[in-house]
A and B are shown apart, each in its own frame.
Chain A
Amino acid sequence: MFSYKIVILGDFGVGKTSLIRRFVDNTFSEDYLSTIGATISKKNIVSSDGTHSIMMIWDTEGRTEHNSFLKQYLNGSKAYVIVADSTRQDTVASLNHHIKMCQSIILDAPIYVAINKSDLESDFMIQRDEVKALSPYIRHVYLTSAKTGDTVNTIFNDINTAVVSG
């Protein structure tokens, strides 16, 4: 029986909450509702080997100017999911900032990067290798779409497998 916390962070409007809704409830909404403080979701996961896990997902608000509030929420996380918007280059550029913030709390915590909104067309190219090179603790860089559900479950299932396998 496992029970652990993960934190999702990234700039505002990149689709952090949508990724979680897709994973937890398998729903999606086009409406944008800004997250204030933190929203917490719970997901029961049963691994292929039958191991039962409770994943507590902390969805943080996307504001970056008041990072101090966020730092407390990063404590005790087994993994970080840092989300960027494939259509907004500034959100990709600030990945490094988020990564450093996570590492300032837990240096060796695994980081999973999700480049969201892959269903939309982008006017710039994202080199996943370049992103992965930002930190040795980045386990994987995913291209996801909360809207279509593409690769969303994969991120969380990978995290769960990593936690359960120790």
Chain B
Amino acid sequence: MSDSAKKPHPDEALQEAISPIVNRLIDRNFENSQDKIAEQIAPLIGKAIRVQIETQKDDVVDALYPVMGNMVSRYASKMFTQMLESINNKVQAGLSFNTVTRKIRARVKGVSESDLLVTENTGALIRAVLLIHRESGIVLSIAENSQTAIVEPEMLASMMSAIKSFVNDWVEKNSDYQELGEIEYGGSKIILESAGYCYMAVIIDGGASVKIYDTIRSMQENIVKQYGDEIRTFDGNLDNVSVDDIRTKMSALLQSSSENNKTKQKMHPLIYIAPALIIGWVGWVTYHQYQDDALSSKVNERIYKTPQLTSYRLSAESDAGHITLTGEVPLLYYKQLVSDVVRNVHGVKQVKNKIIAVSGYDNPMQISSNISYLLNGLNTDAGMNLTYEFNYPTVLISGTVWDQKRLHTVTEEIKKISGQLDASYNVEVTPPDIHEIIYFESNSYQISAENEMKLVALSKKLAQLDTKAIVYVEGYSDGIGSKNANKRIVDNRVKVVFDMLSKKLMVSQAIEISSHYEPPENIDVKTNPEFARFVAIRIGKEV
């Protein structure tokens, strides 16, 4: 036993002897033939892993976890970084045209801006929309993007129906009733929206926003509501289904999707510039129009509030601070005044004065003033007392004048006032109350110096009157003495007065004389006989 323990087995001895040689051979062979060894081992590696997974799955998971976990982690973080960079770029774009339109679109569509942003980043493109009969899987209608048309949509619809059927059947057995909502493959997905006797399959590339889901759902509801009966009674004959109408409705989904993509992918920067320029131009014009309107109002108000200019119809129009004045004024003074007033208004850069200064200006207030001036002038004549009522273009002249001559003067003067007035007159021709009594001494027909002065004054008054007036000269006696004596003395007294007026004082009116040989009835000659010895001179009204 002890020998055998000491002596090695022949195999072991041989093994010990050649082992170093074999090891060297293997090492050398491994170094020289790595490619050949790799080629021989490669198929075994796959097989070995499969065997290991079958028998020691947890060990394999544990072994690969650090590697796979790192790979997934790195890939995910890289994707997140790219997405964040993209979003950051958009956010940093600040108030760019895209940002503004996105804000508006988000508000109009009722979705969050970030939802839109994610949709833009993921670049959702709806390739096709199929309306499929739920039980048979038959395509009732299809709307598809012409650039990404689907080959054999009937096959696709049937296969999707088969998958749906399979899932529905399985789900029914394992939980409450639920339906397959979508199928994802690569970067695309098929959204399945069921309602009634049909379901809608939307094939979409890229990420779909909540809004897209909502749109699909509402479109599905809309179609079922409108065409539900046709779909429910579908018996294989597509002629009984409004295929084209449904396609038109579903095409709206494609259009919104493709418009979004076209906008994102193909829009040239110039396309942004054109609307921006138009909006800018409209804004600029509107702003300046507003400025001009405000300045015009201000200038017109200032003109109107200038008392000397209030009555004139003047207009100021602003064009970028350049004021054009139009209208008419009677005098150059007013034209200059308008310019001066307008230049002092803040904001006025330049004044173009096109106001016309016209004489005989047809302005009601001016006409009224002119009439007023005229009548004031005429009324300085004692023989005129005139007023007027003016309601452009009519004027009524009222009052009294002593004679026709004055009336004629008034009408002629009124005619001279410009403005094509329609004048009417309510003027009474009333001779002035001119009378004088010349007393005489008893049995005398001599005019005293004092009385001669009275006659001179009287003649001056008569000189102001129309020649057509009649001067009445009447003589009276005191009745004392004989009738003949009284007759003679009265005639003489009348004659001297007549002579004085007609010859000496050159009165131009006709003088009618008359003699009364008795005293006037209202005079008591017994107590005051001197009051009956007189000649009375008065003016009679014209006929």
Which residues of A are in contact with B by a Cβ distance under 8 Å?
1-5, 37-38, 40, 42, 54, 56, 58, 68-69, 71-73, 75-78, 163, 166
Q: A40-B159, A40-B162 are in contact. Are A75 and B136 (CB under 8 A)?
A: yes
Closest residue of chain B to A60 (Cβ to Cβ) is B162
Q: How many residues of B contact A (CB 8 A)?
A: 23
Asked if B155 is at the interface of the complex by the 8 Å CB criterion, the answer is yes
Can you list 16 A-B pairs, Cβ within 8 angstroms, ordered by A? A1-B237, A2-B236, A2-B237, A3-B238, A38-B162, A40-B162, A42-B154, A54-B154, A56-B155, A69-B169, A72-B165, A77-B136, A78-B235, A78-B236, A166-B235, A166-B237
Closest partner residue, chain B, to A77 (CB atom): B136
**B133:A73 contact, CB within 8 angstroms:** no
The reply to whether B136 and A4 contact each other, CB–CB distance below 8 Å, is yes
Q: Mark B146-162, 1 if CB is under 8 A from A, else 0.
A: 00000010110011001
Q: Assess whether A76 is in contact with B136, with CB atoms less than 8 Å apart.
A: yes
Cβ distance A56 to chain B, nearest Cβ, rounded Å = 5
Task: Return the contact of B162 from the options A54, A58, A77, A78 (Cβ within 8 A).
Answer: A58
A89, chain B: closest CB distance, angstroms: 31
Chain B's nearest CB lies how many Å from the CB of A40?
4
Do B237 and A5 touch (CB < 8 A)? no
A78: which B residues are within 8 A, CB to CB?
A: 136, 235-236
Return chain A residues, CB-CB under 8 Å to B154.
3, 42, 54, 56
Complex CA gap A97/B165 in Å reads 22
On B, residues with C-beta under 8 Å from A are 133-139, 152, 154-155, 158-159, 162, 165-166, 168-169, 173, 235-239
State in angstroms the CA–CA spacing of A3 and B235 once bound together.
Answer: 9
- In the bound complex, residues from chain B placing their C-beta under 8 Å from that of A42 are 152, 154-155, 158
Question: With a CB–CB cut-off of 8 A, which chain B residues contact A2?
Answer: 236-238
Q: A72–B135 Cα gap in the complex (Å)? A: 9
Q: Is A4's CB under 8 angstroms from B236's CB?
A: yes
Does A56 lie within 8 Å of B169, measured CB to CB?
A: no
Q: Is the CB–CB distance between A1 and B138 below 8 Å?
A: no
Considering the chains assembled together, what is the distance between the CA atoms of A126 and B154 in angstroms? 38
Contact pick for B169, options A58, A71, A166, CB 8 Å: A71
- State the 6 A-B residue pairs at the shortest beta-carbon distance, nearest first: A76-B135, A76-B136, A4-B236, A72-B165, A5-B136, A75-B135
Closest to A72 in B: B165
Give the residues in chain B near A77, CB-CB below 8 Å: 136
- Chain B residues with CB under 8 Å of A71's CB are 169
| Residue in contact with B166 in the complex, picked from A4, A40, A69, A163, CB distance below 8 Å | A69
Q: Which residues of A contact B135 (CB under 8 A)?
A: 75-76
> By the criterion CB–CB under 8 Å, are B138 and A3 in contact?
yes
Q: Which of A5, A58, A78 has the most CB of B within 10 A?
A: A5
Residues A1 and B239 in contact, CB atoms below 8 Å apart: yes
The answer to whether B173 touches A68 (Cβ under 8 A) is yes
Task: Report the separation of the CA atoms of residues A102 and B238 in the bound assembly, to the nearest whole angstrom.
Answer: 25
- How far apart are A30's CB and chain B's nearest CB, in angstroms? 26
B165 contact set on A, CB distance < 8 A: 72-73, 75
When chains A and B are docked, how far (Å) is the Cα of A1 from the Cα of B154?
14
CB pair B166 A3 closer than 8 Å: no
Known: A4-B138, A72-B166, A73-B165. A56 touches B235 (CB 8 A): no
